[in-house]
């Protein structure tokens, strides 16, 4: 009986540790497959060797809306340097396309990406998703998270970190 109790306690502790997932810089970025608005499928493991900027956003996020011009400028600056810019949203194509007509976003847009968000969002002890929009994950050439950030006015830091990754090649 004591052995069974020990097994139960260890199982509960392991489940609690998993539920409190927190991806940090230096950790391998979770692999994913996601289809963009133009029908291209992105698989993170196939992007190894490239710097990847993965942004999570929503059409209803006012901070995301105000950050778009700055993010577009960062994407423009690195467009010829092989950096891959991906923007994942839980919203579907019908919701995203009208928004993008008024608010162009120079990233590869990944609608219906709830599964990707689940892999990257922090989880609290109850298994609830905890992610602030916009959220930024900068993934280095080896597939490791180099920067994790969220919220307003993070593009200068993102730009600086991309530059450092490219200069270390």
pLDDT single digits (tens) 131-140 = 889 999 999 9
* 80-107: burial string, b at 16+ Cβ within 10 Å, e else: eeebbbbbbbbbeeeebeebeeeeebbb
The pTM assigned to this predicted structure is 0.84
Q: Which CATH superfamily is domain 2-167 in?
A: Glutaredoxin (3.40.30.10)
pLDDT in tens, 9-47: 444 444 444 444 578 888 999 999 999 999 999 999 999
């Amino acid at each position: 009986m004591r052995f069974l109790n020990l097994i139960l306690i260890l199982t509960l502790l392991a489940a609690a540790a998993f539920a409190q997932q927190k991806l940090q810089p230096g950790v391998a970025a979770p692999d994913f497959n996601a289809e963009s608005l133009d029908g291209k499928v992105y698989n993170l493991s196939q992007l190894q060797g490239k710097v990847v900027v993965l942004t999570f956003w929503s059409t209803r996020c006012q901070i995301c809306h105000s950050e778009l011009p700055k993010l577009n400028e960062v994407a423009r600056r690195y467009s010829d340097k092989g950096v891959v810019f991906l923007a994942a949203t839980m919203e579907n194509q019908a919701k995203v396309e009208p928004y993008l007509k008024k608010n162009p976003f120079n990233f590869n847009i990944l609608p219906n990406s709830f599964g990707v968000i689940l892999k990257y969002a922090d989880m609290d002890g109850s298994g609830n998703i905890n992610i602030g929009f916009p959220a930024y994950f900068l993934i280095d050439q080896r597939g490791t998270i180099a920067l994790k950030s969220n919220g307003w006015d993070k593009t200068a830091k993102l730009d600086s970190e991309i530059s450092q990754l490219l200069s270390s090649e």
